[in-house]
Structure formats: structure tokens, C-alpha cells
Amino acid sequence: MIDIKFLRENPDLVKENIKKKFQDHKLPLVDEIIDLDEKNRASKLKGDELRSDRNRLSSEIGLLMREGKKDEAEDIKKKVTAINEELVQNEALEASLAEEIKEKMMKIPNMMHESVPIGENDSKNVEVQKYGEPVVPEYEIPYHTDIMEKLCGIDLDAARRVAGNGFYYLIGDIARLHSAVISYARDFMINKGFTYCIPPFMIRSDVVTGVMSFEEMDAMMYKIEGEDLYLIGTSEHSMIGKFKGQILKEADLPYTMTSYSPCFRKEKGAHGIEERGIYRIHQFEKQEMIVVCKPEESYEWYDKMWSYTVELFESLDIPVRTLECCSGDLADLKAKSVDVEAWSPRQQKYFEVGSCSNLTDAQARRLGIRIKGEKGNYYAHTLNNTVVAPPRMLIALLENNYNEDGSINIPKVLQPYMGGKTTLRAE
């Protein structure tokens, strides 16, 4: 959510930002908010005047009573009663206007960074840099679930019987490899100075609307029936929510945290051959990183965060590239975002394995996360980034370490987490 003062003073800039995101249907909201804001400020001014009149008249009542002018005092009491009744109506109007303004403001997208490329969808995302040499071996690489099945590492049929499509059983060495990736990513981020955290896996609706747009909420979140609780789609949700309503000390900043959690997503509209297996699923696990910092430090942290993910994949000998997200591919709260994509030698193309985003003060305004400064309180900046999401990352790991005989080389950094094993082979 942007600053209403900024919208009030720069309506054309806000409208231009909306156009660059190809959301022209939201353009009328700007003028509607300005009109409501004028009415709200007028209502507040009227309320202040009424309270001032009430205080002045109340003082007169006391003076008249002391002077024995009871009839005059009673007349003024009637005026005070009328003012009180008008105040009640005015305060109700203020509350109604404020709620309407908030509802509309939460639909206005965050102001994008000036460097964001303009494009209507992810096909216009821009490659920034490649890391590592993508290799296509002379032998054929099977589909990832076929590799896992030969290693007795996955059971999709049982998962469908138990939970339906979009779920899986990981078994044996594949399950252990999955856990090894998570454990390595955890320790990797701890070594970067991040504090490890396991957060709640459910959050309340006021946290959900604080961390994402209504569109994202509808497309992603599973609601717990009969309760004000949602299953998290990523631990970023509960990690940023941890700071809800807090006033943070400048001396304690930045907060740099890495968190583990299962993640639950509806994944509406997922389809196609690459949606089979464990590429796009309703349940997965992830190691995440978040930063809460001062505004002037957020883009420095942004560059650090995505570079950590690249470094992690490089340590696993998996070629990756970074892709700058264009305006139409940015979620409403994001000011700038970069995807990290891993090389798939089977598909001979890159696919997304992580995303780093700077949301500037959009989440902080929705959640009331402020910093106590020398010259007053101000809103924090929040950032998030995927360290690793093993189900999808396992695809890249298996394909890039697949040998012609069907065995899998275990990257050196993962071997300590695999009991010293260097290779996976079918029994």
C-alpha cells in the first residue's frame, strides 16, 4: 500500500505506474480515493470544530452554574447534547470513509523501481546474467519422476489416492536428498549471518491481507473452514507478520532471518506436461530468507539476497540465470523482483527455482511495521527471497547430476547430509 499523501500529491505518477502494470481498470480508483480523502479530511476538520465548540460550551456551563444562572446553563447543555449527537454521526462518517479509502488503497499497486522493464507478462522478463555452463549430455535424460521411480524414491499413485493430484510421497534416498537440500540451505544462510527460525504454518486474515494483494490471496491461499486462519503459501507470510504492529529500534536493524516451512498453494490454472510430477504442486517445503531494514538499505540487501541463491546453486554445480521481472509480471506489492532459474538439460531451457523481491514499505504500511527514528517514526522496508524449494530444485539437481547408467552424483556439499554417500543407484 502506497502513502496516501504521495497519491494525493502525485496522482499522475500513480496513474502512470498503474498503466505500466497494464491494470488500466484500476485508474478510476485514484480519483475516487482523492475524492474520498477530501471528504474524510473535511469530516475530521468538522469533528475538531465540534469538539472545540463542545469544550468551550462545557466551560461556560460550569461558570453559569457557579453564577446561579441555571436556566442559561440548561440551554447550553442542550446545545452540548446536540453537538454530541452530531459528533457521533460525524465519527461514523469518518470511520466509513476511512474504511472505504483503505479498501481502495489496498488495490493500488506499489510504485515500481525505475529500472523495472515494461512488459505485459512474464514473456517480457529480461535475462540479466548466466552463471555456470549449461550442458546437454549426449545421452537422454528421463523425466524427473521417472528418475525418482527407478530409485524407488516417489509414489504419486498412492498420493493421489490419499490426497488427490498435486501431492506426492518421497521415499528413501530421494526423501533424504530432499531433507539434505533443506538442511544445507539452512546452514548456508546461517553462515551468511541470518537467524534461523521455524514460524507458524497458519496465519490470520489480517496478516494475509498485509503481506499480499487480494488477487494473490484468492489464487494461492487455503482457508481453514470455520476459523480465521489460512495455511501459509510461503514462510515469508508469517515471518513478515512477526513484526506486525511493532515499532522497531534503528539500532536493532536490519532483521535478517532464514526460515523453514511447508508451503501450501492452490496453484489455480496449473496444467501441461511440465505440471506433472513435482514441478507444480499443492504442498512443498522451502527455505526462505527475509529482511526488514531501513529504506535506504533495501536495494543493497536486494542485491545481496538474490546473489546468495545464485551462490548456493553454484555450490551444487547447477547452472542458473537471473531474470529481471517486467512490470506486468510483478505482484502488486512488489517494487522490483528478480527470478533465479535453473538449467534443465532434459528440456534444454531454464525454469524458475526462486524469486527475490523488494516490497519497499508496501507490506510495512499494511501491517504497521515502523522504525523509531530520531526525527519520528517511519515505515520499514521488507524483502523476501527463496533460498531453495527442494521439490522443484530436486528436478534441477537430478537432471544436472544424472549419469548415463541411471545413477545420480551427489554434490560434494550435500554428502555430509547424506551419510557420506557420493552416488545414488537403483537397487
Q: Are residues 327 and 243 in the same domain?
A: yes
Q: Are residues 215 and 316 in the same domain?
A: yes
Q: Are residues 299 and 382 in the same domain?
A: yes
Q: Are residues 325 and 233 in the same domain?
A: yes
Q: What was the pLDDT predicted at 268?
A: 57
Which CATH number is 90's domain given? 1.10.287.40
Answer yes or no: is 196 within a domain: yes
Q: Are residues 85 and 168 in the same domain?
A: no
Answer yes or no: is 29 within a domain: yes
**Domain end point (choices 52, 75, 105):** 105
Position 368: which residue type?
A: G
Q: Are residues 79 and 136 in the same domain?
A: no
Q: Are residues 365 and 416 in the same domain?
A: yes
Answer yes or no: is 19 within a domain: yes
CA-closest candidate to residue 252, choices 357, 385, 367, 373: 373
**Domain end point (choices 70, 105, 140):** 105
Output the nine-digit C-alpha cell for 340.
533465479
Distance CA 388, CA 258 (A): 11
Answer yes or no: is 117 within a domain: no
Q: Are residues 160 and 249 in the same domain?
A: yes
Q: Are residues 309 and 357 in the same domain?
A: yes
- The predicted-structure confidence for 113-164, as pLDDT tens digits, reads as follows 999 999 999 999 999 999 999 999 999 999 999 999 999 999 999 999 999 9
- The predicted-structure confidence for 173-202, as pLDDT tens digits, reads as follows 999 999 999 999 999 999 999 999 999 999
Q: To the nearest 10°, the Cα dihedral for 119, 125, 129, 131?
A: 170
Answer yes or no: is 221 within a domain: yes
Using 50 as the pLDDT threshold, list the residues of the chain that sit under it: 270-274
Which CATH number is 266's domain given? 3.30.930.10
Please confirm whether the linkage preceding 254 is cis (ω < 30° from 0).
yes
Q: What was the pLDDT predicted at 60?
A: 87
Q: Are 113 and 358 in contact (CB under 8 A)?
A: yes
Instruction: Report residue 193 CA to chain centroid gap.
Output: 22
Q: What is the DSSP string of 223-280?
A: EPTTSS-EE-SSHHHHHHHTTTT-EEEGGGPPEEEEEEEEEE---TT--SGGGSTTSS
Q: What was the pLDDT predicted at 49?
A: 94
Answer yes or no: is 329 within a domain: yes
Distance CA 309, CA 73 (A): 74
Q: What was the pLDDT predicted at 62?
A: 77
Q: What was the pLDDT predicted at 272?
A: 45
Q: How many domains does the chain fold into?
A: 2
Q: Are residues 38 and 98 in the same domain?
A: yes
Q: Are residues 318 and 243 in the same domain?
A: yes
Output the nine-digit C-alpha cell for 378.
517511519
Distance CA 87, CA 340 (A): 55
Give the ranges where 112-245 is alpha helix by DSSP (H): 144-150, 156-163, 172-191, 205-211, 214-220, 235-241
Range of the domain at 389: 122-424
Q: Are 108 and 29 in contact (CB under 8 A)?
A: yes
CA-closest candidate to residue 181, choices 22, 309, 344: 309
Q: Name the burial class of residue 169, with classes exposed (0-12), middle (13-18) and buried (19+) by CB atoms within 10 angstroms of its CB.
A: middle
Q: Are residues 197 and 48 in the same domain?
A: no
